[in-house]
Amino acid sequence: MKVPVKIYTEISHEHGLPTYAHHGDSGMDIRANQNITLQPKETKLVPTGIYVGLPEGYEFQVRPRSGMSLKTKLRICNSPGTLDEQYRGEICIIAENTHSSVEFCIAKGERIAQLVLQEVPKAEWVQVFSKDDLGSTDRGEGGFGSSGTQ
């Protein structure tokens, strides 16, 4: 069993910390900290009342909850969103009501997204002098539909 990563946090509401719904889940459900109404086609920030201090080399990814995406027209924009280790502001979720004519109401305390903790390796760029120096693969330069239509 892996040792859990300690996340230092401050919360400014009574809904508690983000939680894993089931053993083995990748994402922790995070809740809205106020009632928000989104008009049709409107996008807003949804405050969560949670502030974190991530350890060096980690990020939180903000992702939609699959059940909410299936059952409603609420979409989590910029998904996955990134909370970098240096960010110390309130976690806010960018939400969009994609419905063309019906408003969407988010209730205070409602689970609206999930956070996934990820380790972030750092890249080191190595410049080569020819694309041939990158090595060959079966795919080569094929992209944007090169794997077929089915």
In the prediction, which pLDDT does 134 show? 87
CATH number of 8-120: 2.70.40.10
In the prediction, which pLDDT does 136 show? 86
Task: Please report the sign of the dihedral spanned by the C-alpha atoms of residue 133, residue 119, residue 75, residue 150.
Answer: positive
> pLDDT: is 149 or 110 the higher one?
110
Asked whether the beta carbons of 34 and 109 are under 8 A apart, the reply is no
Domain boundaries, the chain: 8-120
> How many Cα neighbours within 13 Å face the side chain of 94?
9
Beta strands in 77-149 (DSSP E): 81-83, 90-97, 104-106, 111-119
Q: What is the pLDDT of residues 70-85, one digit of tens each?
A: 999 999 998 899 999 9
In the prediction, which pLDDT does 46 show? 97
Instruction: Provide the 8-state DSSP code for 72.
Output: S
Q: How confident is the model at residue 127 (pLDDT cuts 50, 70, 90)?
A: very high
What is the rounded (10 degree) CA torsion for 39, 45, 49, 52? 160
